């Protein structure tokens, strides 16, 4: 194998100097390609569409969303679950792969952590949007009051609030603590307002052995906390469904099914953003094709877990003793939502098989399209859990098979992608989206390993 | 009186660790090993270990935080349920354990993470004012710094050792 092929097969070039890593990543904060501004403007425009729809719904009333009995949960709840799921990307890449010492995660974990934070912030908005009357949101807050509107501690909805708050605040701390050494690098090389900004964020980090020693253990400990936390968050979201009385939802496999779906959509989103950042910030040296290849393989493995659990869900309903649940399942497969249901199954379970081909995994355009379609499939999964079930419940006189979300609902869902995109792009312009010190470690240890191997 | 600081910048970890080893071997009077510091762009546990065993109290903070979070979380929720959030339960317990376990679990993690971060800041001496310590931006780039605080006589000997190990640059300051 010649040296060119060898270099292509490596996750990162071992001859990258530490100062070059600094230069390349710091340049991304100041001189992105023009595509960055195009994407930012696009995200902002999409956000404005959502904001407009929300303002209209706020002014007119929740009726414009089209939600009514029996369809009381619509796209808002489906999209809420979708965004909670996306948040699992950071935990997977940062925490799980960190504790198993998979060092190929190092160039890409920072933006995955940022995805976690912004996905949770987006998901949180949908709770408020779904409630409709925002001016009366204080009714939902747990504080002693004379209205007797006390929280029901036995409800998974309350657990949800607690779990999401814990996950969001822990993820922000994890992201921030992990970025402190990089903020110090930015502080040392920046000028003007950026120097002050990064100086405050770096907290006076000087890279002393005392700081590194405590940093190493703290980061590992928080990573260990985040893994069970992420599992609990999506299990609790699944409990919103599994502990209800709707036909087809009362299934014990729902929590692992939701967690697998979350990891799946998070992984697919990492591929999408990987390709975008690689182009926009000229990160070809860091977000390399071998790393994309590993991410794609991981996505395929999780897709198969999701497919298995999806089949388990169908089997549980099919072989269970609830005729109504079985009828609801058949309704999904043959009723007015069947196109979306079959699309969900195809995109979630069949499309991932394209990832077994190395040529596909090495093709950026193909991977971009596939990752977007996989996430479309995951979004459809959440929608297919919510809407068809409400439209075909226990009582025939409540059936509403003609229900379709209004344009206002679609507009707000659409806008949430703009909101996420806007926050994410802003983050990447202010915070190094590639972790400089971790990439230096990766290069250093790989070079050392090669040296030892050649000596042996 | 230990009133001088010297910072030597080295090209790589090998040179820096060789200098630290010779410092150890020289057995300089007035050199307190707690006053020897490595400054580096990445962590390197092997080189850090040359300085001897230094404590990492983070796990104690974590344990304390997790226990406080879980314990106070459960007590807080149970107290609220037993008093001002009391509801008509229809024969079911006022303080239900399964739901409270879920909330306690979340509080356990929340307490653990928050106090770990607090412990990290305390143990790492952050936030700190950079003006109080010798620093060179090359440490953010690709150089390894070894800093020693001692008296003038000892610092002269340290400078000699640094120079024998191809130090790139030396900075000194008088500690006020």
**A275–chain B nearest CA distance, Å:** 27
Give me the residues of B, 125-144, that contact A with CB < 8 A: 125-130, 133, 135, 137, 139-142
Q: What is the pLDDT of residues A207-248, one digit of tens each?
A: 999 999 999 999 999 999 999 999 999 999 999 999 888 888
Q: What distances in angstroms separate CA A209 from CA A179, A206, A403, B4, B11, one per listed residue?
A: 17, 9, 62, 20, 17
CB A438 within 8 A of CB A106: yes
What residues of chain A lie within 8 A of the CB of B130, using their CB?
Answer: 204, 206
What are the strands of the beta sheet with B36-39, ordered from one edge?
B36-39, B144-150, B4-10, B169-174
CB A126 within 8 A of CB A413: no
Q: How confident is the model at residue B80 (pLDDT cuts 50, 70, 90)?
A: confident
Q: How confident is the model at residue A451 (pLDDT cuts 50, 70, 90)?
A: confident
Which CATH number is B4-55+132-174's, of 3.30.70, 3.40.50, 1.10.246, 3.40.1130?
3.30.70
- pLDDT at A35 (0 to 100): 95
Domains of chain B by residue range: 4-55+132-174, 58-123
Q: Determine the Cα–Cα distance for residues A192 and B118; give it in Å rounded to an integer.
A: 30
pLDDT exceeds cutoff 80 at A279: yes
Over residues A68-87, the mean pLDDT reads: 91
Q: What is the pLDDT of residues A407-433, one digit of tens each?
A: 999 999 999 999 999 999 999 999 999
Any idea which residue has 């995805």 for tokens? Answer: A115
3-state secondary structure of A147: coil
Which of the residues B37, B40, B42 would you substitute to probe the A interface, choosing the one with the greatest number of A C-beta atoms within 10 Å? B42
Task: Confirm whether the ipTM is greater than 0.85.
Answer: yes
What residues of chain B lie within 8 A of the CB of A210, using their CB?
Answer: 37, 54, 123-125
Q: Determine the Cα–Cα distance for residues A298 and A286; give it in Å rounded to an integer.
A: 19
Over residues B116-136, the mean pLDDT reads: 88
Q: What is the pLDDT of residues B150-159, one digit of tens each?
A: 888 888 889 9
Q: Of A18, A151, A174, which has the smallest distance from its Cβ to B142's Cβ?
A: A18
Helix (H) or strand (E) holding B150: strand B144-150
Q: What is the pLDDT of residues A139-151, one digit of tens each?
A: 777 777 777 667 7
Percentage, residues of chain A above pLDDT 90: 72
Tell if the CB–CB gap between A166 and B110 is shorter than 8 Å: yes
The two tokens of residue A427 are 């983050």
Q: Of A151, A165, A437, which has the smallest distance from its Cβ to B42's Cβ?
A: A437
Q: How confident is the model at residue A1 (pLDDT cuts 50, 70, 90)?
A: very low
Q: Determine the Cα–Cα distance for residues A191 and A26; give it in Å rounded to an integer.
A: 12
CB A355 within 8 A of CB A374: no
Q: What is the pLDDT of residues A345-389, one digit of tens each?
A: 999 999 999 999 999 999 999 999 999 999 999 999 999 999 999
Sign of CA dihedral B22, A437, A456, A2: negative
Residue ranges of domains in chain A, CATH in brackets: 31-135+151-392+407-445 (1.20.1630.10)
Q: Identify the residue with better confidence: B92 or B139.
A: B139
- pLDDT at A3 (0 to 100): 44
Give me the residues of B, 52-111, that contact A with CB < 8 A: 54, 56, 58-59, 62, 77, 81, 84-85, 87, 96, 99-100, 102-103, 105-107, 109-110
3-state secondary structure of B144: strand
| Pairing between β-strand B144-150 and β-strand B4-10 as defined by DSSP bridges | antiparallel
State the pTM of this model.
0.93
Q: Identify the residue with better confidence: B75 or B32.
A: B75
pLDDT exceeds cutoff 80 at B140: yes
pLDDT exceeds cutoff 90 at A450: no
Over residues A427-453, the mean pLDDT reads: 92
- Of A410, A420, A168, nearest to A276 by C-alpha is A420
CA-based nearest residue in chain A for residue B12: A444
- pLDDT at B1 (0 to 100): 66
Q: Determine the Cα–Cα distance for residues B33 and B36; give it in Å rounded to an integer.
A: 5
Q: What is the pLDDT of residues B3-18, one digit of tens each?
A: 888 999 999 999 999 9
Q: Of B62, B135, B142, which has the smallest distance from its Cβ to A221's Cβ?
A: B62
pLDDT exceeds cutoff 70 at A7: no
Tell if the CB–CB gap between A162 and B113 is shorter than 8 Å: no
What residues of chain A lie within 8 A of the CB of B39, using their CB?
Answer: 206-209
Q: Which residues contact A333 (CB under 8 A, 6 or more apart)?
A: A341, A342
3-state secondary structure of B147: strand
pLDDT exceeds cutoff 50 at A5: no
Lowest model confidence (mean pLDDT) among A22-31, A92-101, A300-309: A92-101
Average pLDDT, chain A: 91
């Amino acid at each position: 194998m010649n040296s060119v092929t060898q270099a292509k097969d490596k996750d990162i070039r071992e001859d990258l100097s530490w100062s070059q890593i600094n230069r390349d990543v710091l340049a991304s904060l100041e001189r992105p390609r023009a595509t960055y501004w195009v994407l930012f403007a696009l995200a902002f425009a999409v956000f404005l569409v959502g904001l407009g729809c929300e303002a209209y719904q706020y002014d007119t009333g929740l009726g414009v969303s089209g939600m009514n009995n029996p369809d009381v949960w619509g796209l808002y709840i489906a999209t809420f679950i979708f965004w909670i799921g996306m948040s699992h990307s950071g935990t997977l890449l940062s925490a799980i792969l960190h504790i198993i010492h998979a060092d190929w995660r190092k160039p890409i974990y920072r933006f995955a952590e940022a995805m976690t934070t912004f996905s949770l912030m987006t998901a949180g908005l949908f709770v408020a949007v779904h409630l409709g009357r925002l001016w009366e949101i204080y009714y939902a807050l747990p504080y002693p009051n004379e209205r007797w509107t006390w929280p029901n501690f036995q409800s998974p909805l309350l657990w949800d609030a607690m779990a999401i708050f814990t996950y969001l605040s822990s993820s922000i701390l994890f992201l921030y603590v992990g970025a402190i050494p990089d903020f110090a690098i930015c502080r040392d090389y920046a000028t003007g307002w950026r120097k002050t900004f990064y100086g405050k964020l770096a907290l006076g980090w000087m890279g002393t052995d005392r700081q590194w020693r405590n940093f190493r253990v703290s980061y590992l400990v928080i990573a260990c906390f985040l893994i069970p936390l992420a599992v609990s968050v999506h299990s609790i979201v699944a409990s919103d469904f599994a502990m209800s009385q709707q036909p087809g939802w009362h299934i014990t496999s729902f929590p692992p099914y939701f967690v697998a779906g979350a990891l799946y959509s998070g992984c697919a989103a990492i591929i999408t953003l990987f390709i975008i950042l690689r182009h926009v910030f000229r990160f070809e040296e860091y977000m390399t094709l071998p790393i994309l290849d590993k991410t794609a393989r991981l996505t395929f493995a999780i897709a198969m877990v999701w497919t298995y659990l999806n089949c388990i869900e169908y089997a549980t309903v099919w072989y269970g003793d609830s005729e109504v649940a079985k009828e609801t399942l058949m309704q999904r497969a043959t009723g007015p939502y069947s196109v979306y249901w079959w699309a969900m199954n195809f995109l979630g379970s069949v499309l991932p098989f394209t990832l077994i081909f190395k040529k596909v995994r090495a093709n950026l355009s193909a991977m971009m399209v596939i990752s977007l379609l996989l996430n479309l499939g995951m979004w459809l999964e959440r929608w297919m859990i919510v809407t068809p079930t409400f439209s075909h419940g226990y009582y025939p006189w409540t059936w509403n098979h003609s229900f379709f979300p209004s344009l206002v609902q679609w507009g707000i869902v659409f806008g949430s992608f703009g909101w996420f995109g806007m926050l994410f792009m802003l983050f990447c312009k202010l915070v190094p989206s590639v972790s400089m010190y971790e990439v230096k470690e990766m290069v250093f240890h790989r070079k050392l390993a090669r040296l030892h191997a050649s000596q042996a | 009186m230990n009133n001088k600081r010297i910072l030597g910048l080295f090209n790589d970890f090998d040179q820096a660790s060789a200098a630290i080893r010779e410092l150890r071997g020289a057995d300089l009077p007035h050199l307190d090993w707690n006053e020897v510091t490595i400054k580096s762009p990445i962590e390197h546990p092997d080189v850090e270990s040359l300085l001897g065993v230094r404590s990492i109290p983070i796990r104690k903070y974590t344990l304390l935080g997790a226990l406080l979070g879980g314990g106070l979380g459960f007590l807080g929720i149970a107290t609220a349920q037993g008093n001002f959030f009391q509801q008509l339960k229809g024969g079911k317990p006022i303080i239900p354990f399964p739901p409270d376990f879920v909330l306690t679990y979340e509080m356990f993690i929340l307490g653990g993470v928050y106090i770990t971060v607090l412990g990290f800041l305390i143990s790492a001496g952050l936030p700190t004012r950079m003006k109080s310590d010798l620093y060179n931006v090359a440490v953010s780039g690709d150089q390894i710094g070894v800093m020693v605080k001692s008296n003038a006589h000892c610092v002269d000997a340290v400078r000699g050792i640094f120079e024998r190990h191809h130090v790139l640059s030396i900075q000194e300051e008088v500690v006020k």
